[in-house]
Structure 1
Amino acid sequence: MFQNRFLFLLSFILVLFWGESSSAQKKTLAEKEIISLINDASAELNNNQYEKSLLKSRIALEKAITVKNHDLIANSYLIIAANFDELTEPTKALFYYNLGLSYAKRTNNNILKNQFYNNLGNIYCFDKKVYNKGIYYYKKSLSISQKIHDTEQTLLTNLNIAWAHFDINKYDEGFPYLKHVNKYQSIHGDESTIVAVNMLNGMYYNNKDENKKAEKHFTLAIQQGNLGNEKSDLSYSYLEYSKFLNKIGNYKKAYENLRLYNKITDEQQLENKLKKANVIGANLEIDQYKREIDKIETKYKIKQNKLLEEQSRNKKIVIIVFLLFISAIVFFYYFIQNLRLKEKNKLNDLQSKIQENIINASIDGQELERKKIASFLHDNISSLLSSAGIHLKVFTSQNFLQTEEIVKTKTILEEAHNQIRNLSHELMPSLLVRFGLLYGLDDLCEKNSNSNIRIEFNSLVPIKKRYNEEFEMKLYFIVTELLNNIIKHSEASNAKIALEEIDNNLLIVVTDNGNGFIDNEFELKEGFGINQIRARMNNMKGEFIINSILNTGTTIILKTPILNK
């Protein structure tokens, strides 16, 4: 969103001790080692090797704390925070930025302080609830940039402050900073800022209803953005231009620009997900396997050459040598093939485990988000709508007003309240949360039963029995997915969910009288979610069994160790 988030990060190692005397610049061996670690961690960060960067920066932090060097401690925290910032984990990044800033303030290193202020401004300005904090830190950064006569950073910070004000529709407050940027862009700016500058000018003139100027600047921003690599600024240019076009009635072109904004945004989100999905060690394991195979092949070639040399030196036993050679070839062939097969199986197992872990992590995240959103809708939005309805009711009763608008408002509030409540229950059923898995599944069967299909619930476990909350949630959504498959794909008229406890295991059997399928074809069909369910059950150390007969029906068995409440 904002310019050059880590503008100093590539160069801050060169100015670790800004303002120190020449005698203080003589580092001890321990401090030199720490600086080397910080250099390496910074290089790893720039190469997107976040795990390596975090490891080295944490080692540097431990050593810096040992020697009680505030400058090195602050720099170590800066890289740790920057890693989490790049991994889109703002809460962790914010924690380490603030912690590092507390040490940077104990030094005379203004460049280091400026980095913390600028990055804190970036983080806070991604949340409109705390925009004032973001602007506060940007202004602190601007003050230091002006103090140390850093003209480039002064330009960038003015740009960020203008952008922050414009983003919350405070154009008059932000314009003086944009005015500075317009004045010095040609002197201190570069290609990375010109897109944002034109976009902000377009936003300003759009707000002032100077449509020709707004059109000109938006067009320039998009043209220049397509020539460079700054996707973020280009995407926001498309978005703001779309708003402008919609305002002047050019809806077709507005929609096209909005589509381009969504496309770039989706690409950026995918890049962030791929960053998080990077699993440590997978590539190293693969390289290790390749090296082992290369060693085996090298040994084989050496022995083969020795056999050929021996054959040439001793022609009398050429037949024996030839037979030995053939035998060696066969032996080594099968030996190498066997080793390759084992390594391939290990690699496949590793890849399957990685994929399974990614699936489980994704599902865990989805379930957690469902719970958070459901709780927020129920506890916040629903309560606000109810409160609004009550206040409206009291107002009308006190003022004896029953106009058509008030009646419609009441109806709209009630409908909004009902829709929020229904959405909250769909995301996280209240019966599941309050009364447990058995009540939740019973209600699920009742809700999905209709004139086309009857779903029966039968439990040998007392319906009031409660298990571990996470355990219940996982099984509930697995069964929900299975029921959705039955309703969508099986064309069944009857289905049944049966539960019982056997040897401290919970057994869930889901059956239907639908059209069935061939097992291997079932795995390939889209929308069934079988791989996700199988990964989920493996993660729970359970069993997942499918038995199906074509045109007869399907039985699915889930068996998992019980996790009690």
Structure 2
Amino acid sequence: MKLEKFEKSLILSREALGNAILLKDNNLIALNYNTIAANFDQLGEYEKALFYYKKSLIYASRTNNLNLKNWLYNNLGNIYCFDKKEYSKGIYYYRKSLRYSTKIADSSAIFLTKFNIAWAYFDVHKFELGLPYLKYINLFQEKHSDSSTIVILNMLNGMYESYKNNDKKATFYFENAIKLGQNDVDKTDLSYAHEEYSSFLFKIKKYKRAYENLHAYNEITNELKREERLKKLNVIGINLEIDEYKREIDHIKTEYKTNHQLLLEKQSKNRLISIAIIFALLLIIVFSYLYFQNSQLKQKNKLREIESKIQENIITASINGQEIERKRIASFLHDNISALLSSASLHLTVFSSKNDTNSEEITKTKSILIQTHYKIRDLSHQLLPSLLARFGLFYALNDLCESHSNSSLEFNYSTNVNDETRYNEEFEMKMYFIISELLNNIIKHSKATKAKVSIKQIDSHLHILIKDNGIGFEIKNYRTIEGFGLNQIKARVNTMEGKFRIISKPNEGTSIKIIAPIEYKS
């Protein structure tokens, strides 16, 4: 994770989590959930990060690991304050963190938490509430500050002096923050200093210098975005090289197997030809006899088969259309609407800065835009889960089982397939939504307390078993039970040339077995 190899980190942390659960070690379970959450935090998946931080907190509460509790509350505060902009919740979690860092007498953790609280209060212009924390970090800054915190500390002092209308002191602190920030490798803190200094200069009507600092802020922000894009391009390049090596190795293996098979075929070619001819003649005789004896029966069965096939194709086409539409809408929401909302929020921020105004209407509008942005992102992820697109079927199913598990119903997930295995994108979507629908049936109808999802790859087929200990039902009646959708799922599996089987009795639970031929990437 420190090397920014977040996908690899997620793989290892999930493996470690599985072992920790087997050991029933609450401390190890909490630590691994914390690592998973931190990876999602770095990937910008803040809702996922929140989910796993809170999972970690559940297990951490069963231990005496005060250090972990302290950092979990601090991380939750960071997400709520600086990512979701829900400052009241963020400060609540920071205060929880402060309680634990005080218990363990960790002066460095106390300093960092009070630093975050001061920053959070100042971000919402509650300067008097943040002042006690600012005084504390000013008092102990020589002992605990690093190059990053000292830049932000000068910026916070500048913001407070600006609030008190001490223009000379405010100018000194802002310019000191910018001077120190220019020597720091990470220019993020420098960009914050330029932005706040620009707001202060607008306030005292020094518009030229305000514009210069706003321009510097935009330049640094664009540079940071370019660096982020370059990182992503490097990751893509590395993945392409790995894929190329894999293709070469597969080609060598295939070439070896082909040569070996040709040698064997030459040795038995004549014998096989003779057997094939005799066998073909026998088949012709047998099938001719069966054809003339059962022609009428075959015609009736064929008509029924065609009707069933047409019905299955209609169902499959309808579901495929829904999935394509899901993907299109999710992409449109994420790439267009979300971007437009972010742009509108940015324009409002710049307008407020330029016109030196903090009207209630603009503040509420910005808040509404931010809330709408997060709701649209959540809707996009519901339509097409980000884990499915980014990490593949097995990660998405593992996460689906974990997120559906609760105190009254536990989903156990197991597979013999490597989590990094990827198939054809459409095939992964089909299998994900089929399994998701079956899990929803368990939640809605089964009244089960335990359920199991088991996936095995045998040759070129996926063998899927979904089993629960619920109330079960009569197999002959399932077609008439509304809400199950089992006929649609069966039709879909049939069009994939797979197999679908239900085993159930009243009060004995339900088992559903699916065998689906794998569609690999072209």
Q: TM-score, normalised by structure 1?
A: 0.44
Q: Which has the larger radius of gyration?
A: 1
Q: TM-score, normalised by structure 2?
A: 0.48
